[in-house]
Structure 1
Amino acid sequence: MRVLPKAQRQAMYEIYAFCRAVDDVADEGGTRPERLAGLKRWRDAIEAAYAGRTTAATIGLLEPIRHFKLARVDFLAIIDGMEMDGREDIQAPDEATLDLYCDRVASAVGRLSVKVFGVSPERGEDLAHHLGRALQLTNILRDLDEDAAMGRLYLPRELLEQAGIPITTPTAVLAHPNLPQVGAILLKRARGQFDAADALMARERRRATRAPRLMGAVYRLILARLEQQGFAVPRHRVKVPKSRLILALLRHGLV
């Protein structure tokens, strides 16, 4: 976000802070009823902000909402996504549920972000759709073991069944020798979403796509390292070296 002008940068920091806060509630907000109650308070705070009532939780969002005409429905969609995690530990959702989850926790963030970045309305929503799903699928593949430790498994049920993997516990699924088959399909799917996002950004003003181009470039590096490592045990959490981040900045003319 540091590559953005001040007003855009501050707006994105506020959006990120909101996302971080509701994610923390969903993951660490106590018992399930307590988590859902915490998310309900956030939902009420967003509704109050759009009704002109300031709360401590949303005071930082008021100017970005006004200046960039951010849509209430997208903030609520993010909370809906966090409620999916808060209600129960997601384990092997069907494809439709996984896509809905990706839309809520990632593409909805993208729909807010493209307005801040200044992407044209005719391409902004499609860019949010494709890049959001690309980033979230990459996150899912990167965080397999971390999510399993929390009792979660975001790999789609249909792909697990197709690979002959019994859907039992997350840790058992991740130890199955056929897991790389599922990983390969999701890698290909994520690359397709990145390609679609790149095609959209190529038709936009370069200044409006500086931040999403950099996010896409960095996450493509993560995806490539995941492919290089593979999905057989033992797996290690993939990180991008600082030198590769600097190269990505240079390649995209951001420094």
Structure 2
Amino acid sequence: MSTSLHTPVSSPSSEPSPAGAETPSGKGAKDENFPVGSFLLPKHLRPHVAKYYAFARAIDDIADNGALSPEDKIKRLTSFDAALKGEPGYGGEYQKAHDLRESMKETGVTTKHGSDLVAAFILDAEKSRYASWEELLGYCELSANPVGRYLLDLHGEDKSGYRYSDALCTVLQIVNHLQDCGDDRRELDRIYIIEDWLKEENEDITVVDRDAVSPGFRNVMDRMLDGCESLMSDARKLPSALNSKHLAMESAIIVRLAERLIQLLRKGDPLAKRVALNKVDFASAGLRGAAAGFFEAGRGAA
């Protein structure tokens, strides 16, 4: 299962692509924190996953381009959504949207899973602070959960599995926000740290401008990770809720990567040094997760 497409912020290109609508950052699947369309997925579905990723990467790059005004971002993003929905008047500069629309038509997957991502990135252009845990979860419903839902639909899974994929995708989004909190602030002035919880610690958003995590910020991080741990109780059930062994294996691997990243963030300081998974983490999760997912598939989440 692929997850959140929010990657470490780098200096984006200030120039649109030759096509005129995109502002490519140069990032690709290799830059993501978690597998994107890995070899574990059925071969005949990988091209469709690639088209979904290409669309998501294009609109994410627009949202993360610091050289664009919020109004320009919203205009470009809205146009991508219109092209995805098949509205007339959108040409080759929106080819990734056209490709995804045709892919979704072929596979019977709703374009809502693309439109929701657009809505999340429009929200990024309009909103840069989150006061409560509930607000952040609402953002994740648009920015992360559609990815898991897309994959479930693509594999013909029952929609009852959304509950478990939503939990996993939300966790991945939130831990990614914690990993990148300093970069998000410096590059885009976005803060996904809960403001109300910071206030309870007599802190404010400037905590992410420091060179090290303060005790108050550590308490807020731990509360956010506690919330992630609660969500993991559902996320761990995802492989069993799936009928596809391929998707169950990939999901089980990502569950283990999420667990490991939560552990690392409990101990690490994302302001002093980026907290990230290493090759050993990926290898361990891959071996254990693939085996577990193979045997768990089809057993039922209950």
Q: Percent identity?
A: 20
Q: Secondary structure at the match of 1:131?
A: helix
Specify the code of the residue in structure 2 equivalent to 1:20. R
Which residue in 2 is equivalent to 1:182? 220
Which residue in 2 is equivalent to 1:241? 278
Equivalent runs, 1:69-108 vs 2, <5 Å: 69-88=108-127, 90-108=128-146
Measured against aligned partners, the alpha-carbon deviations of 1:21-56 in whole angstroms (never above 9, x if no partner) come to: 111001116222221111011111111179xx9962
Work out whether 1:31 is the aligned partner of 2:69: yes
Q: Secondary structure at the match of 1:253?
A: helix
Change (3 A) 1:173 1:152: farther
Q: How far off is 1:77 after superposition?
A: 1.2
Work out whether 1:21 is the aligned partner of 2:62: no
Q: Is the 8 A contact 2:253 2:288 kept in 1?
A: no
2:100 corresponds to which of 61, 64, 68: 61
Which residue in 1 is equivalent to 2:31? none
1:140 corresponds to which of 160, 163, 177: 177
Change (3 A) 1:181 1:218: same
Which residue in 2 is equivalent to 1:3? 40
Q: Is the 8 A contact 1:19 1:78 kept in 2?
A: yes
Q: Measure, in 2, the Cα distance between the counterparts of 1:244 and 1:94.
A: 31
Q: Secondary structure at the match of 1:56?
A: helix
Measured against aligned partners, the alpha-carbon deviations of 1:198-249 in whole angstroms (never above 9, x if no partner) come to: 1242243333322222222222222211112156xx5211222212212221
Q: Is the 8 A contact 1:135 1:216 kept in 2?
A: no
> 190-199 vs 135-144, which deviates more?
190-199
Which residue in 1 is equivalent to 2:10? none
Equivalent runs, 1:198-237 vs 2, <5 Å: 198-205=236-243, 206-230=245-269, 235-237=272-274
Q: Measure, in 2, the Cα distance between the counterparts of 1:76 and 1:168.
A: 33
Which consecutive unaligned segments of at least 5 residues does structure 1 have? none
Q: Measure, in 2, the Cα distance between the counterparts of 1:204 and 1:26.
A: 33
Which residue in 1 is equivalent to 2:34? none
Q: Is the 8 A contact 2:207 2:213 kept in 1?
A: no
Q: Is the 8 A contact 1:78 1:108 kept in 2?
A: yes
2:158 corresponds to which of 120, 123, 128: 120
Q: How far off is 1:79 after superposition?
A: 0.5
Which residue in 1 is equivalent to 2:168? 131
Q: Is the 8 A contact 2:252 2:290 kept in 1?
A: no
Q: Is the 8 A contact 1:201 1:209 kept in 2?
A: yes
Measured against aligned partners, the alpha-carbon deviations of 1:68-126 in whole angstroms (never above 9, x if no partner) come to: 322222211110100111224x1243333211111100012221121124432222x21
Change (3 A) 1:139 1:116: same
Q: Measure, in 2, the Cα distance between the counterparts of 1:165 and 1:27.
A: 27
Q: Measure, in 2, the Cα distance between the counterparts of 1:247 and 1:184.
A: 25
TM (norm. structure 1) is: 0.86
Cα RMSD, aligned residues only:
2.7
Measured against aligned partners, the alpha-carbon deviations of 1:49-69 in whole angstroms (never above 9, x if no partner) come to: 79xx99623243244312432
Q: Secondary structure at the match of 1:155?
A: coil
Aligned residue-pair number = 249
Q: Secondary structure at the match of 1:3?
A: coil
> 128-137 vs 29-38, which deviates more?
29-38
Q: Is the 8 A contact 1:49 1:58 kept in 2?
A: no
TM (norm. structure 2) is: 0.74
Change (3 A) 1:15 1:200: same
Specify the code of the residue in structure 1 equivalent to 2:248. T
Which consecutive unaligned segments of at least 5 residues does structure 2 have? 1-37, 295-302
Specify the code of the residue in structure 2 equivalent to 1:113. L
